[in-house]
Amino acid sequence: MKTFANIRALGLLSSTLFLIVGETRSAVLDWDTVSWTPNGLTATYVDVNGSGVDMTVTISGDTGTLASQLSNTLTGGLNPPQNSLLLAVDWASKSETITVTVTFSELVNNVSYNLFSVDRGDNVGGGIRTYVDQISTLTATDGNTTYAASITAGAHNAIEGTGINQTIYGSGGPNPPDDSGKGNTTISYGTNPVNSLTFTYGNRSDSQSNPAAQAIALHDINFTVVPEVPAGAGSAMLCLVGILAHQKRKKGA
């Protein structure tokens, strides 16, 4: 009887723990299933992939020449190609940049995404290129702590710097074609709970001073919903722990 009662109490405890811990669920902002106004600078997506999480994507900075659109022109090597958010610019100065910020309506984790075509143009002499795609400010935050990205470089890009000062830039050559995966890079934030991420797109110092037309593409954004502790669940668990302890005292000793 004692064993049976304890097993029953343990069963109740574990089902309560399950309710408290809840279910982790993966979701994705899939550019094949949402829309983006061509040349727009922001969009909000409600209940992304049924996650209950809303996301807002905003582009700021030197957006004068920016052409933003959903496109499968830069494929990242995917076959069949998928849509991604194409960011095409033709800046007059290599100091111009745009910043992409993605916010989530609640804390999420396991955030990761790929950028396509982080590469560079032809050598115009002396190691200077027509453009050199460079991604910087690769960070995410929960509103208090700023987290550095884990970056995986592709065949035609390279990482420099450390922590929140890391950048990834086009390297190698020749310039890979639009349907190549050689300019891919993967950005992830692991188990850090975050509600905002950002990156800045510009040119590295080895670009010519007036960069040629250039582009990258932001592919699907993956994340995991962080389960919430329902109100009262904590005290319900404490209550069950109390019952279990009481039964042990009553029946044991």
Name the closest residue to Ca ion (Cβ): 117
- Per CB under 5 A, 160 contacts Ca ion: no
First-residue to last-residue Cα distance in the chain: 15
Residue from 96, 220, 225, 226 touching Ca ion (CB under 5 A): that is 220
221: tokens are: 């954004």
Candidates 30-38, 51-59, 103-111, 144-152 — which segment interacts with Ca ion by CB under 5 A? 30-38
Cβ of residue 119: shortest distance to Ca ion, in angstroms? 4
**Closer CB to Ca ion, residue 183 or residue 193?**
183
Beta strands in the chain (DSSP E): 25-29, 42-45, 55-61, 67-71, 84-89, 98-116, 123-125, 128-129, 133-141, 146-148, 150-152, 157-160, 167-170, 185-188, 194-203, 214-225
By CB neighbour count within 10 A (0-12 exposed, 13-18 middle, 19+ buried), where does 141 fall? middle
- Per CB under 5 A, 96 contacts Ca ion: no
**Closer CB to Ca ion, residue 19 or residue 151?**
151
Residue from 7, 24, 32, 37 touching Ca ion (CB under 5 A): that is 32
- Per CB under 5 A, 119 contacts Ca ion: yes
Cβ of residue 34: shortest distance to Ca ion, in angstroms? 10
**Closer CB to Ca ion, residue 175 or residue 198?**
175
- Per CB under 5 A, 117 contacts Ca ion: yes
Pairing relationship of beta strands 167-170 and 133-141 according to DSSP bridges: antiparallel
- Per CB under 5 A, 49 contacts Ca ion: no
**Closer CB to Ca ion, residue 146 or residue 186?**
186
Q: How far is CA 222 from the centre of its chain?
A: 6
Q: Which amino acid is at 16?
A: T
Residue from 22, 30, 60, 172 touching Ca ion (CB under 5 A): that is 30
Applying CB under 5 A, the site for Ca ion has a residue count of 11
- Per CB under 5 A, 175 contacts Ca ion: yes
Cβ of residue 82: shortest distance to Ca ion, in angstroms? 4
| SS3 category, 163 | helix
Residue from 49, 133, 138, 171 touching Ca ion (CB under 5 A): that is 133
Nearest to 134 by CA among 98, 162, 103, 102: 98
The three-point CA angle 190-196-197 to 5° equals 65
- Per CB under 5 A, 82 contacts Ca ion: yes
Please enumerate in sequence order all residues whose Cβ is within 8 A of that of 129, keeping only pairs 6 or more positions apart, or say none.
120, 121, 122, 123, 170, 206, 207, 208
**Closer CB to Ca ion, residue 108 or residue 133?**
133
- Residues of this chain that interact with Ca ion (CB under 5 A) are 30, 32, 82, 90, 117, 119, 133, 175-176, 210, 220
